[in-house]
Amino acid sequence: MVNKVKAIEHPATRYAAEGERINADPVAYLRQVHQKCDALDQYRLTFYRQERVGALVQTLAPMEQIDALFRKTPFSVKFTWSAPDADYYESVYAEGQNDNKLVIRERKGVFPFPPQVRAIDPALPAKTGKARNSITDFGLARVTRRTLLPFEDPALAKVMTIRYQGLVDLDPAARPSHHLLIERPPTRGYAYTRQDFYIDAENLLPA
């Protein structure tokens, strides 16, 4: 009887090999990431959000830690904030429920009223400058799809660049992640000329 010992691949070796695949064709790799994300029917994750917010003058808001539950069909998202200084306990959007409103449970009330449970237009936080995107835009597949959209415009794709920047420890969780830098000239319909896109080196999903 022959005992076969399978060699254990060091994470750095695995990460380097994946980095080579990303570097060979970043756009094609992003399409594979999108397909992988789109195949997920439901998941839970913790993410960190720090955005420039404000309707007239934008300022950098404090970083938030948010626990999220996602379901593809019917489209449903639940956010939970555990930090004691957060404005909300949770928010829930479920397509076809609550008149398609976003239901939020406040941690802090609006003076002089105590905290309440409110049902609002899901687009309202983005319209009033409290968030960059609506909760209806949330999801791994959707964020990857938004990143890919400009590359499907031949004229825009010609003037854009996408470069693999290597492996980084992404703050604040310090998870090893592959970094893609996407740049484009000032373009109507796009607020920024630069996008940093990260792919978790372990699960190969958007970080």
Mean per-residue pLDDT for 12-18? Answer: 92
Q: Which of 9-13, 164-168, 169-173 has the highest mean pLDDT?
A: 164-168
User: 38 in a domain, yes or no?
Assistant: yes
**pLDDT at residue number 85:** 93
User: 4 in a domain, yes or no?
Assistant: no
Give the residue numbers spanning the domain of 34: 11-200
β pairing state of 102-106 and 117-120: antiparallel
Alpha-carbon gap, residue 58 to 3, rounded angstroms: 63
Mean per-residue pLDDT for 139-150? Answer: 97
User: 85 in a domain, yes or no?
Assistant: yes
* Res. 177: pLDDT tops 60: yes
> How many independent structural domains does the chain possess?
1
User: 207 in a domain, yes or no?
Assistant: no
User: 6 in a domain, yes or no?
Assistant: no
**pLDDT at residue number 120:** 97
pTM of the predicted structure, to 2 decimals: 0.87
* Res. 145: pLDDT tops 80: yes
pLDDT one-digit tens code per residue, 36-53:
999 999 999 999 999 888
What three-state secondary structure class fits 170? strand
User: 118 in a domain, yes or no?
Assistant: yes
Write the CATH number for 93. Answer: 2.50.20
Proportion of the chain above pLDDT 70, given as a percent: 96
Q: Which residue has the higher pLDDT, 179 or 192?
A: 179
Q: Binning pLDDT at 50, 70 and 90, where does residue 5 land?
A: very low
Q: Is the dihedral of CA 50, 120, 80, 145 positive or negative?
A: negative
Alpha-carbon gap, residue 59 to 53, rounded angstroms: 6
User: 2 in a domain, yes or no?
Assistant: no
User: 3 in a domain, yes or no?
Assistant: no
Proportion of the chain above pLDDT 90, given as a percent: 77
**pLDDT at residue number 135:** 97
pLDDT one-digit tens code per residue, 61-110:
899 999 999 999 999 999 999 999 999 999 999 999 999 999 999 998 87
